[in-house]
Structure 1
Amino acid sequence: MTLLAEDLLLLMLDEESGKPLVDSTKLPRVLAGAVLLDLALTGVVTPAEPGEDARKGRLVIRTQEFPEDPLLRDAVEIVGKGRPLKPESAIEKLSKGIRDKVATRLVADGWVREERSRILGLFPSVRWPQVDGSREHALRAEIGASLVDGITPTHRTAALISLIAAVDVAPKLFPNADKRAMKKRAKEIAEGDWAGKAVRKAVDAVNTAIMIAATTPAIVAASS
């Protein structure tokens, strides 16, 4: 199974240097948001509705059958442990170690390679230069068709675009495109009617949570 988080990380790694296009605060949190969206798109986790036992907007597990994918299964266990979490608190918990977990999958599948080194001989550094660009190029072409050419995206592509919009990375992916028009189009897609009611609420909650978590991680961690 190909996860949104895998596609997202491929897009957010520079092809040659293997360095992320977003900072170390935003990257793990948007990847965690991608995991939550995968769970929402499959109906596993969505925000609570009025009248449910959980407070409105808190994340609720909707099925007794856990996903087969180990990363998604672990995410369900984390989200379902204890009292229902706010989306931003869930993202904070899921973000721990997620970059390396997703990168390990990309390495195993042959899309990137891992290179570790030390800056000034002291500080550990890791990057993931591209090995096979076919998947990343196909993703970029599909997203570009929606953002730049105005083509209606698939639900999956729309979900990816909503995550890209949450961290405003589209201008780095398409540096020659009109940034203002592209940002407007990304927002239109992120807020569009491609998702059902429950998923729509999850998308909105995740995108808001990513922005909150990326700017105030310490506050988020303390507010679960």
Structure 2
Amino acid sequence: MAVSLGEEIMLLSLDDASGAAKGEGAARWGVAAGMLLELVMAGPVTVKGGCVEVFDPTPIGDALLDGRLDRLTRWVHETSTTRKVTAWLTRDHAKGSQDVVDSLVARGLVTEEKHRALGVFPVRRYPEADGSVERELRARLAAVVLDGAEPDARTTALVALLHATGMHPQAFPGLPRKRVAPRMAEIADGHWAGVSVREAIRNVQAAISAVTVVTVLSVGS
């Protein structure tokens, strides 16, 4: 399978030279949401009314997404409460991000570097190893956001997640938010994705808004 939405978001967030994550908090939510939407588009998962449901736990043939599908299936079966999108993103955003980085390393797109900050605290960085995928990704984003090309469903989902998480600087470094945000909002709200995917996108956008507001309030309290 091609690089997933979650991996694309992580690639955009990692500094090519240093390997440090830019906007790491936002990227984690975007990565978790991206993998959820990828499973929706693949067919085994639906997101509707703010809730997640697994209809087919059969592996789809991608190690990263199969791991998410298995984890999501077990969570759905274990919980006795309504399977809210917000609850899943909160549960998965930290582990999901690490799994995505590990996948990028395995694909040879980034390398892992380990060192200790102040000689004590372990730090990992993931500088670029193969920039071809990210270059194609940025060209695709520029085509639909800056040049007005019509996006496909996957690009619609990606743009919607980048917009919802506020990752405009990572997607379009050097450009002011006001130049790209209106078009990104138009794509996210448009007709380019099918009905089920469009509904899932809107549910996930609402969930991201909810969990990030709660996170900000918790940090500030």
TM-score tier by shorter-chain length is: 0.7 to 0.9
How far residue 166 of structure 1 moved from its aligned partner, in angstroms, is 1.3
1:198-217 Cα deviation digits (max 9, x unpaired)? 22121111112122222324
| Contact persistence 1:92–1:217 (CA under 8 A) | no
Q: Distance in 2 between matches of 1:166 and 1:95?
A: 15
Q: Are the equivalent residues in 2 in contact too, given 1:111–1:131 (CA < 8 A)? A: yes
C-alpha separation in 2, matches of 1:174 and 1:155: 20
Moved more, 73-82 or 189-198: 73-82
Partner of 2:54 in structure 1?
A: 61
1:73 is aligned to 69
In structure 2, C-alpha distance between the alignment counterparts of 1:61 and 1:189, rounded to whole Å:
27
Structure number with the higher helix fraction is 2
Q: Deviations over 1:91-119 (max 9, x none)?
A: 11121312221111111111100111221
The Cα of 1:66 is off from its aligned counterpart by: 4.1
5+ residue gaps, structure 1, are: 49-55
Q: Secondary structure at the match of 2:94?
A: coil
Q: Which residue does the alignment assign to 1:105? A: 103
How many pairs align?
212
Task: Work out the CA distance in 2 between the residues paired with 1:74 and 1:96.
Answer: 17
Shift of 1:78: 4.1
With over 3 angstroms needed to count, the CA separation of the structure-2 counterparts of 1:9 and 1:172, relative to structure 1, is closer
Q: Give the structure-2-normalised TM-score.
A: 0.87
Aligned equivalent of 2:190: 192
Give the alignment's TM-score, normalised by structure 1: 0.85
Matched residue, 2:20: 19
Alpha-carbon shift at residue 145 of structure 1 (Å): 1.0
Look up the equivalent residue of 1:103 and give its one-letter code. V
Q: Which moved more, 1:95-104 or 1:173-182?
A: 173-182
Provide structure 2 residue ranges, at least 5 long, that are not aligned to the other structure: none
Q: Aligned-residue CA RMSD in angstroms?
A: 2.2
Return the match for 1:210 from 204, 208, 213: 208
The alpha carbon displacement at 1:178 in A equals 4.7
How far apart, CA to CA, are the structure 2 residues paired with 1:35 and 1:17?
Answer: 25
